[in-house]
Amino acid sequence: MGKRLRKARSMCCCVSPRSSYLTPHSIFNWYEEDVWTEIAKFLDGRSLVMLAVTCKWFSRVMMEDSVWKYACLRDLQVPDPGKVAFKWNKLYATAFDGSHACMFRQQEKHIDWMRIGAFLFDSPAAFLTENLIAPFRIPKEDTKEKLLQLKGCCLLNNIKTGIWIAGPTVIIFEDLQLVRCPVCDLDSCDGTMQTLDARHIELFLSDGYHDGSWDYDLLGSHDIIKQADGACGGIFDIKHLKDQSTSAIFDLKSWVGKQNDWQPKAMITLHAVAVNTNLQDNEGLQIRYHAMKAGKDGEIVSIRISQQLL
Q: Cis before residue 168, ω within 30 degrees of 0?
A: yes
pLDDT value of position 110: 47
Contact 194, 285 (CB under 8 A): no
What's the number of CA atoms in the CB half-sphere (13 Å) around residue 281?
Answer: 0
pLDDT at 189: 46
Closest Cα partner for 289 from 140, 55, 94, 128?
128
Per DSSP, the three-state class of 172 is strand
Q: Where are the beta strands (DSSP E) in 17-158?
A: 111-114, 117-121, 126-129, 153-156
H or E element: which one contains 165?
strand 162-172
- 239 close to 89: Cβ distance less than 8 angstroms: no
Question: Read out DSSP for 268-294?
Answer: EETTEEEEEEE--S-S-EEEEEEEEES
Question: pTM of this prediction?
Answer: 0.81
Radius of gyration (Cα) for the chain, nearest Å? 25
Note whether 120 and 270 are within 8 A (CB). yes
In this prediction, the residues of the chain whose per-residue pLDDT falls under 70 are 1-31, 100-113, 135-136, 139-142, 168-191
Q: DSSP assignment, residue 241?
A: T
Its sign, for the CA torsion 53, 54, 57, 61, is negative
Q: Cα(259)–Cα(278) distance, rounded to whole angstroms?
A: 7
The dihedrals phi and psi of 207, each to the nearest 5 degrees, come to: -60, -35
CA separation for the pair 62, 227 (Å, rounded): 55
